[in-house]
Amino acid sequence: MTKVPNGAFLATVATAVPPFKADQKTAREFFAQHYEGKLKRRSLNILEKLLEHPSIEARHFALDDPARLIDEPRDDRVGRFTSWAVDLACEASLKALDQTGLGPGDIDALVINTCTGYLCPGLTSYVAERLGLGRHVPAFDLVGGGCAGALPGLMIAEGQLAARKGGAVLCVAVEICSATFHMGDDTSLLLSNVLFGDGAAAAVLWTEPVGLALVANATRHLPEERDSIRYVHRDGDMHNQLSTSLPRIMAPVVEETVTALVKETGISMDQVRHWALHGGGDSVINGVGSVLGLTEAQLEPTRRVLKRFGNMSSPSSLFVLKEILNDGIDEGDWIVLAAFGAGLTTHASVFRAAGNSPSRG
């Protein structure tokens, strides 16, 4: 566990999704139209069954016409990732700045996380230019964190605040999961294509005693389980690899990480009122909620985000935190933010509401 020096506060969280929205019925019709005769009957049956599950109602995708997903050229895919990732990252960032009353000139560092595309220079170059950040502002591009990637960004932001003894840091998690779309009879691909959507979330960390005080962080790595959740390269393209055993594997790791962090923070699990968990899927939510002893009321914000947006990978946990803030919190409330993904890696952070948060609404 890493205890955070006094003075790091999460001021606000803002989100953005692309305008194209498809419900699961539309997805089922799309797959039937384009993959009847190309997939095994068993695979089509699995897709239909998964898409009928009530845990996800709709997802947003960074495209205008879903037909472009069929045999999309690699260069077009990279271009689509770049354009939409920058657009969504900037949209979420501008919302976050507006909520805090800050301008681009007030930002002292920029951190952007993604795992669904690779650019050199990274997304920070494009976003900093679009937002008009100062040329002196340090920028950090994080890649490869998967669904857990947003939390390391917050940890870097906290470190920047401590080093600078003040200021404000903009943290962004953005994923264009549709830019890694592939279809086949592989169960991992079938699961991915019914779970994932696109989106971005931006958070501002500062030293003003307003928002959520960042108290402590924790991380666990299980490289021996790396193949359970990762991207693999096949013929030059990224293919998502998800084990059907993931809920069983993930739950005890999350339990170990979170319970140790809460204990070392000096509070009990019962004192944590709010839980912002990454919604990896219904079975993952059920497994993690069970081992942590959470109530359905505590899991409801995570289920709500999964239902409305699907699994957006790294932005998802910040979407849940935004839901909790919008629902309303009381000064002194304890909050755990936890995400888990590629690696196999889990990250968790403990916050305490300081009051007067600009995040509500």
Tens digit of each residue's pLDDT (9 = 90 or more) over 245-292 = 777 888 899 999 999 999 999 999 999 999 999 998 999 999 999 999
Distance CA 113, CA 152 (A): 9
Tell me the two tokens of residue 237.
């393209």
Model pTM?
0.95
Q: Can you tell me the mean pLDDT for 33-53? A: 94
Distance CA 176, CA 196 (A): 9
User: Does one domain contain both 123 and 234?
Assistant: no
User: Does one domain contain both 262 and 310?
Assistant: yes
Name the 3-class secondary structure at 191.
helix
Residue 88 lies in a domain: yes
In the listed set 174, 206, 238, which residue is the last one of a domain according to the structure? 206
pLDDT of residue 342: 87
Buried b (16+ CB within 10 A) or exposed e, 259-268: bebbeebeee
Percent over 90 (pLDDT), the chain? 83
Residue 360 lies in a domain: no
Q: What angle do CA 49, 50, 53 make, to 5 degrees?
A: 95
pLDDT of residue 360: 38
Percent over 70 (pLDDT), the chain? 96
User: Does one domain contain both 96 and 238?
Assistant: no
pLDDT tens digits, one per residue of 176-198: 999 999 999 999 899 999 999 99
Distance CA 17, CA 5 (A): 34
Q: What is the mean pLDDT of the chain?
A: 93
Residue 3 lies in a domain: no
Contacts of 36 (CB under 8 A, 6+ apart): 44
pLDDT tens digits, one per residue of 145-174: 999 999 999 999 999 999 988 899 999 999
pLDDT of residue 7: 79
| 236 band by pLDDT with thresholds 50, 70 and 90 | confident
Distance CA 151, CA 113 (A): 9
Q: What is the DSSP letter of 114?
A: E
Contacts of 224 (CB under 8 A, 6+ apart): none
User: Does one domain contain both 297 and 261?
Assistant: yes
Q: Can you tell me the mean pLDDT for 14-33? A: 96
How many domains in the chain?
2
Residue 227 lies in a domain: yes
Nearest to residue 132, comparing CAs of 167, 102, 160, 159?
102
State yes or no: pLDDT of 1 exceeds 60. no
Could you tell me where the DSSP H helices lie in the chain? Answer: 24-35, 41-51, 74-100, 123-131, 150-164, 187-195, 246-265, 282-292, 296-309, 316-327
Distance CA 177, CA 255 (A): 27
User: Does one domain contain both 38 and 160?
Assistant: yes
User: Does one domain contain both 238 and 312?
Assistant: yes
Residue 174 lies in a domain: yes
- For residue 294, the one-letter residue type is L
* Residue 71 belongs to domain with CATH number: 3.40.47.10
In the listed set 206, 226, 244, which residue is the last one of a domain according to the structure? 206
Residue whose structure tokens are 């990252």: 89
Q: Can you tell me the mean pLDDT for 198-205? A: 98
State yes or no: pLDDT of 10 exceeds 60. yes
Tell me the two tokens of residue 71.
């045999």
pLDDT of residue 315: 98
Q: Which residue range(s) make up the domain with 342?
A: 210-355
pLDDT of residue 243: 76
pLDDT of residue 73: 93
User: Does one domain contain both 81 and 196?
Assistant: yes
Distance CA 142, CA 152 (A): 8
Residue 4 lies in a domain: no
Q: Count CA atoms within 13 Å of residue 338 on its CB side.
A: 30
pLDDT tens digits, one per residue of 15-24: 999 999 999 9
For 29, 32, 68, 184, 217, the CA distances from 25, given in Å and listed in that order, are 6, 11, 19, 20, 40
Neighbours of 248 (CB within 10 A): 13
Residue 2 lies in a domain: no
Tell me the two tokens of residue 39.
């997939």
User: Does one domain contain both 196 and 251?
Assistant: no
Could you tell me where the DSSP H helices lie in 58-212? Answer: 74-100, 123-131, 150-164, 187-195
State yes or no: pLDDT of 210 exceeds 60. yes
User: Does one domain contain both 130 and 147?
Assistant: yes
User: Does one domain contain both 28 and 130?
Assistant: yes
Q: What are phi and psi of 247, to 5 degrees?
A: -60, -40
Q: What are phi and psi of 45, to 5 degrees?
A: -65, -40
Q: Can you tell me the mean pLDDT for 124-133? A: 98
Q: Is the dihedral of CA 96, 97, 99, 102 positive or negative?
A: positive
Residue 1 lies in a domain: no
In the listed set 177, 206, 235, which residue is the last one of a domain according to the structure? 206
User: Does one domain contain both 55 and 122?
Assistant: yes
pLDDT of residue 3: 53
Cis ω before 344 (30° cut-off from 0): yes
CA 286 to chain centre: 18
User: Does one domain contain both 84 and 194?
Assistant: yes
Q: What length is written for the chain?
A: 361
